[in-house]
Amino acid sequence: MISMVNRERADRVQRDAVGAVERRPEPVAALTETNLREAFACFPSGVIAVCGMDGGGPVGMAVSSFTSVSLAPPLVSVCLQTSSRTWPRLRALPRLGLSVLGEGQDAVCRALAGSGEDRFAGVRWEEGEQGAVFVHGAVTWFDCTLRAELPAGDHAIALLEVGRLWTVPAADPLVFHGSRFRRLDSGERSAVPA
C-alpha cells in the first residue's frame, strides 16, 4: 500500500517527468501570524486603489486583495481589515472607484496606505459622474457599487458590482509580491488556451 508521503513522492516524480520544476515546500512548525503573512506573500497580486468622494473630498485606501469574481453579473471582491478606519467611510458611499495601479506607482500605493493627513496630496485623481474617484496613471478603472459584505475573521469580504470600465490593455500593472513592489518582465511564456 502506498503511504500519503510516498504518494506525494510518486506525484513529484511524475511531475518531474513532465518537466515541471523540482521543488517541495518545507513544513512550517506553527501557524503564527508571521508565518501566515510570509506564506500569503508568496502569492503575487496587483494593487488597487479603492476611492470615493466623501463630504467634498476624496477618501481611499490601497488594497492587494482584489479578485475578479463573476462575468455575469460583473462582480469583483476585495478584503478589508476590520480595524480599517477608511473602509467604514468608503462602504457608506453610493459609488466606489477601483483603480488598478500601474508599474512605477509605488509612491501612490504608499500614500494611499499611509497614515498621512492627506493621502491624496501627491496623487493625481479625478471624480467620476456619480462620486467614484479614479487615480491617474492606473491601467484599469472600475466604477463599482457595493452589493454585499461577508465577515471573514479579521477582515470583511466586500462584493462589488462593476457598472462602468476603462482600460489601457497594453500597460503594465504594479506587482506586489513578497512584501515588495515588482514589475513584470517582458518575456512572454506560454499562452492559456482560449
Ligand X SMILES: Cc1cc2nc3c(=O)[nH]c(=O)nc-3n(C[C@H](O)[C@H](O)[C@H](O)COP(=O)(O)O)c2cc1C
Q: Which of residues 121-140 bind ligand X (CB under 6 A)?
A: none
Phi first, then psi: give them for residue 29, nearest 5 degrees: -60, -45
173: closest CA among 111, 105, 103, 121? Answer: 103
Return the SS3 of 35.
Answer: helix
- 63 touching ligand X, by CB under 6 A: yes
Q: How far is the CB of 186 from ligand X (least distance, A)?
A: 23
- 64 touching ligand X, by CB under 6 A: yes
92: closest CA among 48, 120, 143, 52? Answer: 52
Q: Which is nearer to ligand X, 142 or 176 (CB)?
A: 176
Q: Which is nearer to ligand X, 109 or 162 (CB)?
A: 109
- 175 touching ligand X, by CB under 6 A: no
User: Could you tell me which residues come within 8 angstroms of residue 182 by beta carbon, excluding any fewer than 6 positions away?
Assistant: 44, 175, 176
Helix (H) or strand (E) holding 165: strand 155-167
Q: How far is the CB of 130 from ligand X (least distance, A)?
A: 23
- 101 touching ligand X, by CB under 6 A: no
**Residue 54: all three cell numbers together:** 466623501
List the Cα angle 185/181/77 in 5-degree steps: 100
Selected from 51, 53, 80, 100, the binder of ligand X by CB under 6 A is 80
Q: How far is the CB of 85 from ligand X (least distance, A)?
A: 4
Q: Which is nearer to ligand X, 105 or 132 (CB)?
A: 105
Which residues are at the interface with ligand X (CB under 6 A)? Answer: 47, 61-65, 79-81, 84-87, 109, 113, 176
